[in-house]
Amino acid sequence: MDAVPNHVLTAWMKEQGYSSRELADRINRVVGELTGKPGGLDDSSIRAWRSGRVRCPKSAQRAALELVSGRTALALGFVRRTRTKDEEQPVDRRTFITAAATTAFTGGPAAGTAGPRRVGMADVALVQQRFSDIIASDHLHGGQLRIEMHAATLADETLALQRAGTASQRVRASLYAAAASFRSSAMWAAIDGRRFGDASNHMREAQVLAELSGDPAIKFRIWSHAGTMYRHMGRPVEAAAANDVARGLGLARRDPMFASLGLARHAAIYASAGDRSSVRRSFGHAREAMNRADPGEVRPVWLTAFYDAAEIDSLALSAYSLLGDWATAEAHGHRCLAGLRTHMVRSKAITTVRLARAQLEQREVESAVVTAKSVPADAAAGHPRVAVMLDAFGSRLDLIAPESGPADEWRAHMVRVKV
C-alpha cells in the first residue's frame, strides 16, 4: 500500500512551531521519564510519521505524543494500530496522565516513583537548542502570535524543569538564563506584531529571570529590546533610557560587538527625536565598533543570528526615513538587501517595504511599486508589521499618484494578496 502523507500532523507541527528534531526530543524525554527507557526517535522517525511510511507510532511513543499534543493519535491523522501478539504491551495512559500532572519540560517523576532526578547540563543543552529553533522561526516569520505563545510556554516549561529535580548552582543559573531568553523572544515577537501591552508584560518577567540568572548577555538583550519597544511606541525618552541600561553593562564595554548594537539602536532612537547629527555620528561609531570586534569571539546565538553590517544598514534605512532623508534611506536599503543573509526572511520583507516607501517619497512611483510587489505574499498578508507598512505605502501612493497606472497595478496586486 502506498504511503499517504499525514497532513494533519504536519499542520499541527507547523501551528505549534515544532521542527522534526524538536518534536522527537520532546517525545523521547516524556517516554524516558515515564517508562524508564529512553525514547528512540530522531528526525527521520518524525519524517516517517509525516510521510505516512509509519501509519501509527508504537504505544509508548503514541501515548507520549498524545500528552505532548493534548490530542489523540487519531485526531493527529494516524490510523488505529492493530496489535500483534509479539507487539509490546500498551502503555497505561492513566500512568502517563498522572505523571504528566507533575511534568512540564522533561516529565519529572510522578509521586511514588524513585526520587527526584538530577537536572544537568545535558538538559540545559536541549533547552538551548529549542531557543535556537525559536530564533530561526522568528527570522522566518516574525511577529506571529504563535511564536510569542510558544516562546512563553517554553519559558514556563524551563522554569518547571527547575522543580523537576536537584541541580547545581551553575545549572540553575543556566536555566534561569534560558527562561529569560524565551521570555525575551516572546517580548520581541509581541513588539514585532505591535502587541505592546503583551510585550511589556513579557519584559517584566524576562527582567526578573535575567537578574536571577546573572547573565549579562540576556540582560543586554532585554533592555535593548525595551529600547526598541519604546521607540516603536513613539516614546524616545524612555527608549533612550532603556537602551542606555543595555549600553552601560560591562559586557558592552568589553565586547565591541555588543557596543556596536547598542550604538546602532541608539542612532535609530535619535532619529525618533529628530536629532540628525547624532544619528549620523552614532551610526559611524557603530560601524567602527563592529570593525574592532573579534570575529572569533563566542557570542549568543540571538546576536550572531542577526547582527552584522546589513543590520546597521537596516536601522539606518529606518532612521533616515524618519528624518525624511529619503535618498540616504534608499541607499541604505539597497546596501541592506545586498548584505542580508538568506535566513533573514522577515527582515528582507520589512527592508523591501521601507525601500519602496523611500522610492515613492522621491516620486519614483513605478520603481516603488515594482519593489513593493516583490514582498512575498505570505509576509504581505500574514506578518502584522509588514501588512501595516504596506497599507501605509498604499495610502501614500493614493496621495502621490492616485490616477497613475502603477497605482492601479498596486491596488489590483493587493486584492490578489488579500484573497
Domain annotation covers residue 92:
yes
Q: In angstroms, rounded to a whole number, what is the distance separating the alpha carbons of residues 384 and 144?
A: 8
Instruction: Check residue 101 and give its pLDDT.
Output: 34
Domain annotation covers residue 412:
no
90 and 54 in one domain? Answer: yes
Q: In angstroms, rounded to a whole number, what is the distance separating the alpha carbons of residues 97 and 64?
A: 10
Q: Which residues of the chain have pLDDT under 50?
A: 83-114
- The answer to whether 10 and 50 are in contact (CB under 8 A) is yes
198 and 172 in one domain? Answer: yes
Instruction: Check residue 336 and give its pLDDT.
Output: 97
Domain annotation covers residue 171:
yes
Residue with cell 541608539: 266
Domain annotation covers residue 157:
yes
137 and 53 in one domain? Answer: no
Domain annotation covers residue 11:
yes
Residue type, 43: D
- The answer to whether 121 and 172 are in contact (CB under 8 A) is no
86 and 137 in one domain? Answer: no
176 and 97 in one domain? Answer: no
Burial label, 40 (beta-carbon count in 10 A; 0-12, 13-18, 19+): middle
127 and 92 in one domain? Answer: no
Give residue 132's domain range.
120-214
Instruction: Check residue 25 and give its pLDDT.
Output: 87
Domain annotation covers residue 263:
no
Instruction: Check residue 90 and give its pLDDT.
Output: 44
209 and 145 in one domain? Answer: yes
As for how many domains the chain has, the answer is 2
Q: Which among 39, 70, 103 is the end of a domain? A: 103
Q: In angstroms, rounded to a whole number, what is the distance separating the alpha carbons of residues 48 and 40?
A: 13
Instruction: Check residue 147 and give its pLDDT.
Output: 87
Domain annotation covers residue 305:
no
Which residues fall within 8 angstroms of residue 189, CB to CB, at 6 or more apart? 138, 142, 143, 144, 145, 147, 148, 151
Burial label, 108 (beta-carbon count in 10 A; 0-12, 13-18, 19+): buried
Instruction: Check residue 87 and give its pLDDT.
Output: 41
Instruction: Check residue 384 and give its pLDDT.
Output: 80
97 and 135 in one domain? Answer: no
Q: Which among 164, 187, 214 is the end of a domain? A: 214
- The answer to whether 48 and 54 are in contact (CB under 8 A) is yes
